[in-house]
C-alpha cells in the first residue's frame, strides 16, 4: 500500500480506534493486537497525523522550552538531517517517506 491509498481510507474515527487499540493492546471486541497489527496501526496514525494535524497536536510531540532571549531550545534540529535517518539515504533537506510493507 502506498501513502495516498492509506490516507484515502482513514477517517478521524478510524484513527481514534487505532489509537485506542494501540493504547489498550486490543481491539474494541477484546481480541488482542498482534505485534504486526500494532506496528501497522502506529504507522497509519503517524501518517494521518502528519497530513492532518499541526506538529504540536501529533502523537509524540515534545514541547521545546523558550530561552530568555526568545529563541527555542533545539530549533536548529527542526530541519531534517542525515543523522535522523541513519539507515536510509536522505538527500539534504529531504523528508523520508514512510514505507509500508506490501502483503
Q: List alpha helices for 1-91, DSSP H.
A: 3-9, 12-24, 35-52
Whole-angstrom Cα distance, residue 72 to residue 29? 44
- Condensed to tens digits (0 to 9), the pLDDT of residues 41-81 reads 998 998 899 888 888 888 888 777 888 888 877 766 665 55
Query: Which residue did the predictor score with more confidence, 79 or 24?
Result: 24
Model confidence at 35, pLDDT cuts 50, 70, 90, reads: very high
Residue 33 reports pLDDT greater than 60: yes
Amino acid at each position: 500500500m502506498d501513502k495516498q491509498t492509506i490516507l484515502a481510507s482513514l477517517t478521524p474515527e478510524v484513527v481514534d480506534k487505532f489509537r485506542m487499540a494501540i493504547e489498550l493492546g486490543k481491539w474494541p471486541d477484546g481480541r488482542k493486537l498482534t505485534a504486526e497489527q500494532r506496528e501497522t496501526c502506529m504507522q497509519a496514525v503517524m501518517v494521518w497525523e502528519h497530513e492532518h494535524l499541526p506538529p504540536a497536536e501529533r502523537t509524540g510531540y515534545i514541547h521545546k522550552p523558550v530561552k530568555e532571549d526568545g529563541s527555542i531550545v533545539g530549533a536548529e534540529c527542526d530541519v531534517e538531517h542525515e543523522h535522523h535517518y541513519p539507515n536510509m539515504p536522505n538527500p539534504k533537506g529531504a523528508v523520508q517517506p514512510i514505507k509500508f510493507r506490501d502483503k
